Copies of this chain bind each other. A is one copy, B any other.
Amino acid sequence: MQNVNITEKLSLFSDYWNPKIVGELNGQHVKLVKLKGEFVWHSHENEDEMFYVLNGTLEMEFRDKTVSVNQNEFIIVPKGVEHRPVAKEEVSIMLFEPATTLNTGDAESNELTRNELEKI
């Protein structure tokens, strides 16, 4: 058991849309990811997702609205709900989600899809 420093972990990478695993508990992963630009529309058939904003502002687009999520705020996206994360400027996020979660969900596998995540 040891403490995990978020700021230190964030300093270890600079690539976007490529989640890193920093913790695991109860079949869930804690991940850090940096975002910039627009992701793809997708949903997750079996997994709810939590996005906790560490730095910046995340625009979470839904089909009927957009929710701005600022630093020290989080949003939970229930399974089955189509969403598209958008980051006008760089955003750092902590994700909580089941270890089974694929970042692009039900979207056809594309250049953003990450099947194997690095642990840092």
Contact = CB atoms under 8 A, between A and B. Distances in A.
Interface of A: 1-7, 23-26, 28, 30, 47-50, 54, 60, 62, 67-70, 72-78, 81, 96-98
Contact of A23 (B2, B7, B69, B76): B76
Contacts of A48: 25-26
A83 to B, nearest CB: 8
Contacts of A26: 28, 47-48, 97-98
A101 to B, nearest CB: 9
B28 A28 contact: yes
Contacts of A5: 70, 72-73
B3 A69 contact: yes
